[in-house]
Chain A
Amino acid sequence: MTRWIGKHAWNIGLAALLAALLGVTKLIQPEFGVSGVESLTRAALPFAFATAAMAVVVIVGGIDLSVASMMAVTGVTAAVLMQHAGDGSSVAVTFLTLLVGVAMGTVNGSLVVLTKVPDIVVTLAMLFVWEGVALLILEAPGGAVADWLMAAVVGGLGGVVDWVPRALILMVFCISVVWVPIKRSRLGLSIYATGSDRAAAFRSGVAVGRTRVAAYAVAGLFCALGGLSLTMITGIGEPVPGPYLLASVAAVVLGGVTLGGGRGGLLGPIIAVFILRLIRLMLTLMAVDPNVTTIVEGAIMVIVVMIGGLLTLKGRRR
């Protein structure tokens, strides 16, 4: 039991922090309730997918700066193709969009592995490339999205569980369906092994290159989900990338994934997304100047990560 707690200490701490923040929000704004949580979750949805994408790449020991751009490409792809599509073909379009995401991720990963150019350089270049592609597909915000997709993210589940937001279910479902089987498989092990110590992984017989490409491809898939969710929320395609890149890095770090790779999971970063969104909401409710808001967010991130670092250090000394 204590071992289990020790292993999941970071996630437990984050969950406690989130619960405390929810309590404080309720104190600040007594009306904050089911609908507040619903809109918070909906707003968090694209951030959660972007963070999942970033987390996978960081765990394998890399980084992907083109996350937001890939979301833009997939978002506009879906919006353009669905403009005149019926319900049936919109399902096909959804799958096509996911494939586009995987393809983009594979391109990123292959370039990183084959050219041996540092990942930060390759994906910075791809940030511009995918941004251009998104603008080629759709010059100005536009397009449309199927009604059933829009309905999937709005409101609660209905009945006695109406307080559970649909967006949350969608988020948990999509991320689990992709990540849980991977994590249980040899691919998942290889991803962690490669991120932890690439040379040792190679010596243990891990196909390091293929593993890295696969991790980028999974990240591409999460980006596609992120792009889709963005289109589902707004109802249109937006070719200019949103603020998802830096937000995802922040959530990954706060979520307990080491930037060197090999450590952490997806649960922590997702909780961290909620924490960061909630802090922003609280500051808005308290009518804090939006410019001060970003300062506070940055400060909180540094403080939390620092406290976490000190606690682990202390735990190791003992």
Chain B
Amino acid sequence: MSVMTAEEREAVPLLDAKGVSKSFGTVRALSDAGLKVNAGEIVALVGANGAGKSTFVKILTGVLQPDSGNVTIRGSEVHVGSPAKARRSGLVPVYQEPSLIPDLDVRNNLRLSDTPEGPFLNWVNELGLRGLRLDDMVGHLPLATLRILDLAKALACEPDVLLLDEMTAALPTDLVERTLRVVRSQAECGRGVIFISHRFSEISQLCHRASILRDGATVGDLAVRPGVEDRVVEMMLGAGVETGAPVTGVGHVARPRGTPRLEVEGLAQGGKLSDVSFEIHPGEVLGLVALEGQGQDELFEVLSGLLRPDRGVILIDGTPVSFRHPADAIAAGFAYVPGDRAEALLMERSVHENIALPFSTHLGGWGPIRLRRERASVGETINRLQIDTRARGAVRRLSGGNQQKVTIGRWLAVGFRMLLLFDPTRGIDVRTKRQIYPLVRQLAERGASILYYTSELDEVPLVCDRVLVIFNGCVVATLAVRDANESTLVRAAYGLSPRDACGG
């Protein structure tokens, strides 16, 4: 791909970080992290949940100061003091969270960061985003659009080193393709790219090298070639961790008879959800697949009592119900795990309180809390999910994977009949993913019904018994998992299946 020789690459590393360490109080987040990026190179930075990736990124981009170690850009040592300084020295990041200001329009956001408008619009076009107006308020744009704008903004600065942190996590498939193509062409122009992603397929498609971080130290640096994934995973997880046995039990559930746990008929809400009907039986994991914004968000919100449907019937064990408040849904045994963990967790409060909340509040009661019972079930949940409690004082300080475990764990502690999982593995490392899949199956075996929305198609055969595809607010396909190969799902998700009753 690159025309440079190895010697030339060695000569001028664009970015070189060595021996970086950082502690927060008694928690040592980084002990010896390093990263080298040469011109024209795309380097994947990978690491399991809690390996220190986020901290390392913050240090590279100047949000945090390292305790020791140094970072050089183009051979000269830079003391990166703030994101503004990092930007001036040539390292431009695209963070995991959007860094656009919600209350300013697009034009003012560009002005704020001194981004030239012309190149920005070119990149927006190149990345496949149509119909953007510069006077659109950023707060009114969907998340996927914001990610593209963030990337276009970074590219318009013509950076030496581009850092992409989970850039593709919130993007629909077509935009991912375009994004990867643009990133590749950037590297061909001689720029360096640091690419952080939990999707191995993207890393193997795109990256030249992978630098692996484990427990706060850089433990390996491998050239990416076919088949390297296993080795990378092994290094990420360290010795003694099983590298993922296939989950058993999938699809073996014989089509259950009797009254379904949940029946949904002709559900409609707002402009997004027009006609959704399906059923889930006890012990079943029903997958849900859809492109961004096809009504899946509304479906989950209706089922969890956040939104009231305009039309349609929801039956639990054959009895019609209507939720006026999330507490009604919880009382009916419906547990909701939202896609955005921040929506579910009390970020400033402890792990203990977050897990204990749903059963201690007891649906509006203000009486005394039975502390011993609470401690026991919280402790059991923490053990069962292997939640890392080093930073248990405030959930905000946990890594993404551990936060997700807390969000799921709180429902294990209360008990439920129906679990609504909205993309539970979004932005989560491999190790936690591999803990979540068997957990989901186990819960189903014990009789719970699970609705599992996922944005990653390869998860479907790992956990689901049946799959539901929705497009434009309607169910367009229901497939048994053995028929649900990737191409069928993609065709259905794009509205190309034979049953397209829901014309666009």
Where the two chains meet, the residues of A that have a C-beta atom closer than 8 Å to any C-beta of B are 3, 186, 189-190, 192-193, 195-197, 199-207, 262-263, 317
Contact = CB atoms under 8 A, between A and B. Distances in A.
B102 interface: yes
A204 B99 contact: yes
A190 B112 contact: yes
B350 interface: no
Contacts of B456: none
Contact of A202 (B83, B102, B104, B270): B83
B112 A207 contact: no
B103 interface: yes
Of A195, A200, A203, the most chain B CB neighbours within 10 A belong to A203
Nearest to B137: A7
A262 B87 contact: no
Given A189-B112, A202-B83, A204-B83, A196 B135 contact: no
Given A192-B103, A192-B108, 12 more contacts: A186-B111, A186-B112, A192-B104, A195-B103, A196-B104, A197-B101, A197-B102, A200-B102, A203-B95, A204-B100, A205-B83, A207-B82
B99 A203 contact: yes
A189 B63 contact: no
5 contacts: A199-B97, A202-B82, A203-B83, A203-B99, A204-B112
A190 B84 CA distance: 13
A201 B101 contact: yes
A208 to B, nearest CB: 9
Nearest to B133: A3
Contacts of B103: 192, 195-197, 262-263
A120 B367 CA distance: 33
Judged by DSSP, the binding face of A is: helix
B487 to A, nearest CB: 37
B63 A203 contact: yes
Interface residues of B, number: 23
A317 B97 contact: no
A34 B103 CA distance: 40
A3 B102 CA distance: 17
B212 to A, nearest CB: 26
B135 A204 contact: no
A230 B113 CA distance: 40
Contacts of A192: 101, 103-104, 108
B98 interface: yes
A196 B101 contact: yes
A189 B111 contact: yes
A198 B99 CA distance: 10
Contact of A3 (B100, B113, B135): B135
Contact of A262 (B83, B98, B101, B114): B101
A43 B82 CA distance: 47
B83 A200 contact: no
Contacts of A207: 82, 84
Interface in B36-92: 63, 82-84, 87
A36 B111 CA distance: 45
Nearest to A189: B112
B109 interface: yes
A204 B109 CA distance: 9
Contacts of A197: 101-103
A205 B135 CA distance: 21
Given A205-B87, A205-B113, A200 B99 contact: yes
Contacts of A262: 101-103
A193 B95 CA distance: 17
A203 to B, nearest CB: 4
A189 B103 CA distance: 10
B63 A202 contact: yes
Contacts of B270: 317
A205 B112 CA distance: 8
Of B63, B104, B114, B270, the most chain A CB neighbours within 10 A belong to B104
Contacts of B101: 192-193, 196-197, 200-201, 204, 262
Nearest to B87: A205
A256 to B, nearest CB: 12
Nearest to B95: A203
B359 to A, nearest CB: 32
Interface string B254-286: 000000000000000010000000000000000
Contacts of A199: 97
Of A190, A202, A205, the most chain B CB neighbours within 10 A belong to A205
Of B83, B97, B103, B108, the most chain A CB neighbours within 10 A belong to B103
A193 B139 CA distance: 12
Contacts of A205: 82-84, 87, 112-114
Task: Name the 4 nearest CB pairs between A and B, nearest first.
Answer: A205-B84, A196-B103, A203-B99, A262-B103
B100 A200 contact: yes
A42 to B, nearest CB: 35
A206 B99 CA distance: 11
A287 B306 CA distance: 48
A262 B111 CA distance: 16
Nearest to A263: B103
Interface in B122-161: 135
A192 B105 CA distance: 11
Contact of B104 (A186, A189, A203, A317): A189
Contacts of B112: 186, 189-190, 193, 201, 204-206
